[in-house]
Amino acid sequence: MACPGLEKVVEPFLPSSPELPGPAMAASALGSSSRRSLTMDRTARWVCSQDIPSDIRVKVGEASFPLHKFMLVAKSGYVRRRILESNKSDLAHIDLSEVPGGADAFERAAKFCYGVNFEITVHNVAALRCAAEYLEMTDKYCNGNLVNRTEEFLNNAAFKALSSAVAVLRSCERLLPMADQLNIVQRCVDAVSSKACNEAKAPSRTPDGWWAYELAALGPSSLRKILTAMRSRGATPQALATAVSAYAEKLLPDILSGKAPPPPGPDSEEVRTRQRGLLESIVSLLPDDAAFHVSFLCCLLRAAIFLESPVTCRKELEKRVSAALDQASVGDLLSVTLDYAGERVAEVDSVRRIVTGFVEREGRGGVLYGGGAAETAGGTQAHPRLDEIEREKVCSVMDPLKLSYEARLHASQNKRLPLQIMLHALYYDQLNLRSGGGGDPKATDAAADMRKQIMADSTLIQENEALRTELTRMKMFVSDMQKNHQGSSGSARKPTFFASVSKTLGKLNPFRQGSKDTSHISDGVEVAKPRRRRFSIS
């Protein structure tokens, strides 16, 4: 809405008028002098009729705008104050190079002063809002001024959708600290984080992670604010990891995809420096509580090695890979050691530090050794005939002092484990009792009770083992005696069937006591048989 009395001097808006090109496009196409000429020519299209010559020239950076004082002071309190406070009676030049948004934002603000229509979009609304604040274009000087118009667009359009709020937040990155002072950044962060959390819980479109790729258009500082706000709103660690992963894939697509880097060129060092900075920003965004896949972390570490990132960046990635090493595969570790061509071993020290850190983690070590105790007990159950010495050999690979409380309790109650292992399992708790505590509180009482029970049963276990050994020795002795007896009796002739019958009948003979029958004598010795003769009774 234009101020009363000014509409008559405003030339109708020309729809075919070209807009001001971006700073980068103008810098590449035109020099400083041609840029000023282009600005003056374009300004002449929508400024008042040339019958009324301009009486003030506004300089914004390298651009210069020939304008009219009475059109500017009607809506800009800042320009009005500058003219009134000027020592010169006829101020013809004014420098507004510090206006937020530069020449583009000031040109649109000047159009608004002249009543020329232009489109407010999510890409220029933040710059217009900051420029309007700088120029003091409030309702104090004119109803429906630019500050009010931009605020209406922000509240009614820009913050209603995720993509539009992200676009506004991205444009605010070039308008700091003014955009932060006007609370535009915080309102964008609130809108984006709220909608991102809702999409992470219940996606409204496919693919499910589309919202994460929308956030990838932001800078590192803006994304960090979004992640912090999402965490405060109850976002899951998986949602935070999805956002950072999408951000990394969009910033470093070639390196994280495993493709071989292009051959060195004239600008390769500049490209590598830029990629190194992006990787450092990605690592700084990794939330502590987010569950990143170990393959993604290994890809980041591989990129850090290739780009020769600082030691702090590499150590942070090594620490995270070490914490998730139980989920890693051999291929993940090989991706760290090999170069992008996969033909040469480029790094071994990182893998060594990763494995060392994994082993030294107290919590992880307890879990590993606890699992080892359970596996060892399962092995003794699968082989019940193992003696005490063989069991000790099997369990010698396990360090009882590194067991967790659950593993120590399991080992102390497992009768299949060797006695020495069962006693060593309680060694840690015994030291804590002697030192007056300092260990696991819940392990103290259980350790004392189990120690009494095991010490009481230790003698019985040893005696049983000695008896078991002696019984085995006796079985072996009896077995040897049986073998020797069978060998010596094998050479003797076995009794015949007739001899056995004769011996049995001899036992039944009632005259056996007085007879001289020798049939009862064992015929184990072969006797020569006499010739068959005729016997007669005379």
Residues 12 and 56 in one domain: yes
Looking at the domain assignment, is residue 313 inside a domain?
yes
Residues 42, 131, single domain; the answer is: yes
Residue 129 within a domain: yes
User: Tokens 């429906």 sit at which residue?
Assistant: 144
Given this model, what pLDDT does residue 149 score?
93
Name the residue among 313, 321, 275, 276 with its Cα closest to residue 295. 321
Domain boundary, last residue among 450, 479, 508 = 479
Three-state DSSP string of 401-428 = HHCCHHHHHHHHHCCCCCHHHHHHCCHH
Domain that holds residue 299: 252-260+273-360
Which are the contacts of 262, defined by CB distance < 8 A and separation ≥ 6?
A: 268
List the structure tokens of 75: 């809506």
Q: Which of 342, 360, 378 is the last residue of a domain?
A: 360
Residue at token pair 């980068």? 24
| Cα gap 72→77, rounded to integer Å | 9
Give yes or no for a contact between 403 and 366, defined as CB atoms under 8 angstroms apart: yes
pLDDT of residue 203: 82
Same domain? For 376 and 463 the reply is yes
Whether residue 384 sits in one domain with residue 320: no
3-class SS at 530?
Answer: coil
Asked if residue 471 and residue 394 are part of one domain, the reply reads yes
- Give yes or no: residues 351 and 414 share one domain: no
Please tell me whether residues 89 and 24 are part of one structural domain. Answer: yes
Q: What pLDDT does 137 receive? A: 92
Looking at the fold, whether 141 and 102 belong to one and the same domain comes out as: yes
pLDDT value at residue 170 = 94
- Residue 380 neighbours by CB under 8 Å, 6+ apart: 386, 391, 394, 416, 417
pLDDT value for 476: 83
Does 244 fall in a domain? no
Write down the pLDDT at residue 13. 31
Torsion, CA 452, CA 458, CA 464, CA 467, rounded to 10: -150
Predicted local distance difference test score (pLDDT) of residue 52: 74
Is 60 within the bounds of a domain? yes
Which among 328, 360, 392 is the end of a domain? 360
Question: Does residue 51 form part of some domain?
Answer: yes
| Residue 3 Ramachandran class (φ > 0 left, ψ -120 to 50 alpha, else beta) | beta
Tokens of 238: 């998986």
In a domain, 235, yes or no: no
Which residues share a beta bridge with 59? 64, 95
CATH number, residue 54: 3.30.710.10
> For the chain, how big is the Rg over CA atoms in Å?
48
Count of the separate structural domains present in the chain: 3
pLDDT in tens, the chain (538 residues): 334 333 322 333 333 333 333 433 333 443 444 544 455 555 555 555 456 777 888 999 888 898 888 888 889 999 999 888 877 666 788 889 999 999 999 999 999 988 888 899 999 999 999 999 999 999 888 888 999 999 999 999 999 999 999 999 999 999 999 999 999 999 999 999 999 999 888 888 778 888 999 998 898 899 999 999 999 998 888 899 889 989 988 888 877 776 655 555 666 788 888 888 888 888 888 887 767 888 888 888 888 888 888 889 889 998 888 888 878 887 787 778 776 665 566 667 888 888 888 887 745 444 444 444 454 445 445 455 666 666 666 666 566 666 666 676 676 667 667 766 666 666 666 665 665 554 555 555 655 565 566 565 666 667 777 777 888 888 887 888 877 777 665 555 545 544 554 555 555 555 444 444 444 444 444 445 555 544 444 3
Residues 26 and 106 reside in one and the same domain: yes
CA torsion 61-67-72-74 (nearest 10°) is 180
pLDDT (0 to 100) of residue 299: 86
Contacts 24+ apart (CB under 8 A), 323-332: 323/358, 323/361, 324/292, 324/294, 324/297, 325/294, 325/354, 325/355, 325/358, 326/358, 326/364, 327/293, 327/294, 328/294, 328/295, 328/298, 329/295, 332/294, 332/295, 332/298
475 shares a domain with 335? no
* Same domain (yes/no): 144, 109: yes
Cα–Cα distance, 212 to 223 (Å, whole number): 10
User: Which tokens hold the place of 300?
Assistant: 């980041």
237 within a domain of the structure (yes/no)? no
Helix axes 362-382, 405-413, angle to 10 degrees: 20
Report if residue 212 sits inside a domain. no
Same domain, yes or no: 408 and 474: yes
Q: What global pTM score does this model have?
A: 0.58
Tokens 């920003």, located at residue: 281
How far is the C-alpha of 289 from the C-alpha of 432, rounded, in Å? 33
